[in-house]
Structure 1
């Protein structure tokens, strides 16, 4: 396939692609979209920024709208036909924006039930009739146990950023969700890396899926330059201070391994007059989201984070990434 028009997508999707000047699919889109349109389960291992979201979003929207056109619309309340599971609210918000771009013309309803928002809000979101549920696994399980959502009509189940989703809690929740769906299910798993838990999923639930590795999977981008700096006697701060004194046009993100390390670094930065934002899992969710949006828009030049921000989030203005602890 050389262009999106070669996929045979419904007219409304093609119009939106044209309006957004999206002509040529990326490698993962070119290889995944025809398989999903043919109702074949897939595993897509591709680097961050390769277009994985659109690779599954377009087939989902096409398939659900085609069912509606055939006289088989969704009619039951709180009974989605497609579920997209994500590890974090931030990634969910990002995917929701992509879906909204296409559902404006392709009239399908997307509802979110993400961790980090009040349960009551999630309860309200899943009332009524809708086609697509975008949610974190733990929140789906909560709603299932309270019989606020029903998975007996799910036809498509997507695991996005699966390697970030497969700790023990996520794993048990994800398995419960998959078991609650019908046996005839179109499955999609998308990830930038294959860790032990993802491999276990690929060997079991996705054993019959078509596995796609893109040429760039597992590789660093060509424009990336790496530097290894020597730290003597564990004194990291003087080395970091010299690096931060070097001006950059875009933003800088610094990763620490733990929350405690994050706090210690924040204290050093504050004492030395640096303006920065914190982004970590135990923060107030509203504050964390506000900080991330400032960084994304370029209103904040320096972000300190644990690995929460390490994958799946789309930020254009980052020029420097520092791993403070290795």
Structure 2
């Protein structure tokens, strides 16, 4: 089924064709027609399956079809679509997608987030924005200063709702919703639908259509997952070895702390491997520049803390590395979802020390299988990590 059969007009179809979007993914095929019909939607699909396009494309179509330029000028320059995201990085990425998809349309968009000067953002709002992508804190700050108005809002989107709740934004979300007009279309998109997400949807959405894409659908990312058991003190040496011996060209490397990120970059450079890092200790401007350089291929190895787990969309990122295994199962899913996007093949490598065993059990239980283990004789393990299949509990028997 081509995109044109989903109800999208030529300017949008041509824009996504320029991006080499050939066939819609499962979530796009199911969500786009429902959103075009004006219904509220709660949707769940794995990271990397095209969720952003599944709500941005139909919203662009609705804005494009709604009014002529004359009618639009008569309405004024208020926000018509509000998209709220949990992180700055995701806000920037979603707005970049909007700009790409709308390049043949007369529709304006803006990403608004903290950590940057507020006055330029206020000026953009004065000029007029059709679609605003914002993080909760900066959005509420602007609302309190009466720099942003929602009286002409037509659609409200909560993107990555599960992550939003994990980060403690529920009070901010409720405050935002209180300021919105009652007559609006509501869309909630998430990688997972927990009880908390469902409770939020019940308060926010009205007679919503629920869309859930199973993990075994055709849109599932093609990610080869394997792990190496390693003693903590040998991690940086092992990473350097794999980069050189396996001739890795690019990798996004996840680590738990900003101090660990800076240390690892230094260790890699001492072994002749140039790398960069992004974490909460670096300014937003620097983080954005490093991300842009990484996407452009100017940086081969990027060491990132959890701030980059969502919001990085690199079409052909070869691999991600869990230098530190995450504590939460969902974080593992979101991390490895940075590779294998849009039907491309990807590789996810994890370093697992003995004290990560409990985390590994949880991750493998969620996956439903044991992750392939690989050994390298140059790195013998003193503290052996058990195989966790005996700890696997089927989902339907969990309490």
Common topology (TM > 0.5)? yes
Shift of 1:145: 0.2
C-alpha separation between the residues in 2 aligned to 1:74 and 1:138? 30
Task: Verify the 8 A CA contact 2:40 2:185 in the aligned structure 1.
Answer: yes
Does 1:98 pair with 2:97?
yes
Q: Where does residue 44 of structure 2 map in the other structure?
A: 45
Partners of 1:320 and 1:120 lie apart in 2 by 39
After superposition, where does 1:1-326 map in structure 2 within 5 Å?
Answer: 2-17=1-16, 22-69=21-68, 73=72, 75=74, 79-167=78-166, 169-195=168-194, 197-206=196-205, 208-216=207-215, 223-232=222-231, 235-326=234-325
Q: Call closer, same or farther: CA 1:206–1:297 in 2, change over 3 Å.
A: same
| Residues in 1 aligned to 2:20 and 2:238: alpha-carbon distance in whole angstroms | 44
- Name which one, 1 or 2, has greater alpha-carbon Rg: 2
- Decide whether the 8 Å contact of 2:45 with 2:213 is kept in 1: yes
Closer, same or farther: CA 20–289 of 1 in aligned 2, 3 Å: closer
Give the Cα–Cα distance (whole angstroms) in 1 for the partners of residues 168 and 276 of structure 2. Answer: 29
CA distance in 1, matches of 2:13, 2:124: 28
Mean Cα deviation higher: 277-286 or 312-321: 312-321
**Structure 1 residues 13-41: Cα deviation after superposition (integer angstroms, max 9, x where no partner):** 34434555545321111100111111111
Q: Per-residue displacement from partner, 1:248-288 (whole Å, max 9, x unpaired)?
A: 35311211122233233234334433310001122111111
TM-score by length of 1: 0.88
Pair 1:36–1:24, CA change in 2 (3 A): same
Q: CA deviation at 1:87?
A: 2.4
Task: Tell me: CA distance 1:112–1:239, structure 2 relative to 1, closer, same or farther (3 Å).
Answer: closer
CA shift for structure 1 position 59: 1.5
- Is the alpha carbon distance of 1:217 and 1:92 closer, same or farther for their aligned partners in structure 2, counting shifts above 3 Å? farther
Task: For residue 92 of structure 1, report the CA deviation from its aligned partner.
Answer: 2.4
DSSP 3-state at the match of 1:49: coil
**1:250 touches 1:298 (CA, 8 Å); kept in 2?**
no
SS in structure 2 at match of 1:80: coil
Shift of 1:106: 2.0
Runs of 5+ consecutive residues of structure 2 not aligned to the other structure? 326-399
Offset of 1:219 from its aligned partner? 11
Q: Distance in 1 between matches of 2:20 and 2:256?
A: 40
Distance 1:196 1:238 in 2: 42
Distance in 2 (alpha carbons) for counterparts of 1:196 and 1:118:
37
Rounded to whole Å, the distance in 2 between the matches of 1:38 and 1:184 is: 15
Give the aligned CA root-mean-square deviation in angstroms.
2.8
Following TM superposition, by how much is the alpha carbon of 1:218 offset from its aligned partner in structure 2, in angstroms?
10
In structure 1, what is the Cα distance between the partners aligned to 2:259 and 2:126? 40
